[in-house]
Amino acid sequence: MSSGIDPGLFRETLGHYPTGVAVVTAIVDGQPVGMVVGTFSSVSMNPPLVAFYPMADSRSFALLRNAASFCVNVLASDQEALCRQFATAGERKFDGVEWRAAALGAPILEGAVSWIECTFDDVREAGDHFIVIGRVQDLAVARSTLPLLFFQGGYGRFSPGSFIATPDPELIQAAQLAESMRVDVERLSEEFSVNVSVIAKIRWDAVQVLAANQSPVEEPFPLGHRQPLIPPFGAVFMANSPDSDIDEWLSRGADKTTERRDLNRAQLENVREHGYSLLAAGPEIVQRHRAVLSEFELSDRLPRHERAVQQATSELADFFFTDLVPGEHYDLVNVVVLAPSRPGLPPMAIRMTGLPHGASTAQIESWVGALKDIARSAS
């Protein structure tokens, strides 16, 4: 390098910055061509521009730049083999590769995370590379999953730390404690013809560790289901938490206004006072929330899925309550009671779902009392 910078040190230093991996495809003389790039980026939203940076002596780009359009295919974390196939020289890069044509004809690779079809806006020389600027004509997220990353000469994937769900001592302890409640939980489920489950706070997830389902209403979530603790959900777990944890919980909500934080904090104080939480929401909003949670469970738990859960949970904010009016009747989604926790054990709660419509205040109070009896015996 003319500047005196050692090429090996340059590559090693810049290699500590992870990049996504994409395959740029096009149709040239009626045949598909493609090349791997690790230097794709967005440039502008208005007008919509993106860029990639091929080497000036790249034979693949020498072909590709003659096309009328090109498509940037962002590869998924399970497409490393496809990446290596396109990274090799030769004319057989598309052998066995499934693809379809975008609106302007450029190949969209099957299984890619997303694709962006562009026309050439500008090609500029930059040292031993070109800066290729593309004007976006069409784009879509085809498969919402983790992308393939390139880091320090190797391929890998992003792991969203806040959603890592590995077995740990807390979860094992919670399952063991829940097992000691099994007889009482099953008895209560049968007595009231409802679903009763034990949930535990594992980091910032509520995990269902025991369930007895005797309600005619099917329980939508399986054993082991995890739900992020996003306010107003999870207030029972925050009742005995330090201020630092409460602040963290409040910050996880979709609505970060002072007004909403104050409302969530007030709901937490009500839960502390009464020892339970009630949820009464309409079927449409409940179904929407459950659908988002189911998608979250089946996904790679990407940040976009977290945002969807945040938003869906925030829609329930005004339907959590604790105060019962004598003589009133309620259509409850659930009743949740905090179980007094022992030092060194994760916080636990007992939840009742699959409840009959039109429950009276006296009926709900009997449910709460029965749940609290189990919680006390477990402690």
What are the residue boundaries of the structural domains of the chain, listed by start? 7-158, 169-378
Q: Are 104 and 137 in contact (CB under 8 A)?
A: yes
- Confidence (pLDDT) at 168: 60
Reported as a single tens digit per residue, the pLDDT across 32-87 is 999 999 889 999 989 999 999 999 999 999 999 999 999 999 999 899 999 989 98
Rounded to 5°, the CA angle 20-21-24 comes to 130
- DSSP letter at 340 equals P
Give the phi and the psi of residue 312 in degrees, each rounded to 5: -65, -35
Identify whether the C-beta of residue 313 lies closer than 8 Å to the C-beta of residue 254: yes
Euclidean distance between CA atoms 355 and 334, whole angstroms: 7
Strand partners, 78: none
Give 270's Cβ-side CA count (13 Å radius): 15
Q: For 273-319, how does the pLDDT look when each residue is reduced to its tens digit (9 = 90+)?
A: 999 999 999 999 999 999 888 888 776 667 777 888 999 999 999 99
The per-residue pLDDT for range 316-354, each reduced to its tens digit, is 999 999 999 999 999 999 999 998 777 778 899 999 999
Distance CA 277, CA 80 (A): 47
CATH architecture classification, 169-378: 2-Layer Sandwich (3.30)
Q: Which residue has the higher pLDDT, 13 or 328?
A: 328
Q: What is the DSSP string of 237-248?
A: HHTT--HHHHHH
pTM of the model: 0.61
pLDDT in the model for residue 15: 64
CATH class of the structural domain 7-158: mainly beta
Q: In the prediction, which pLDDT does 34 show?
A: 95
Residues 97-122 have a mean pLDDT of 96
Cα torsion 162, 294, 245, 273 to 10°: value is: -170
DSSP string, 72-105: EEEPBTT-HHHHHHHHS-SS-TTTT--EEE-TTS
Taking the C-alpha atoms of residue 145 and residue 299, their distance in angstroms, rounded to an integer, is 7
> Which one has a higher pLDDT value, 236 or 172?
236
Q: In what order do the strands lie in the sheet with 148-151?
A: 19-20, 148-151, 154-157
Q: Express each pLDDT in 124-175 by its tens digit.
A: 999 999 999 999 999 998 987 888 887 666 666 655 543 334 456 778 788 8
Averaged pLDDT score across all residues of the chain = 88
Residue 165 confidence (pLDDT)? 42
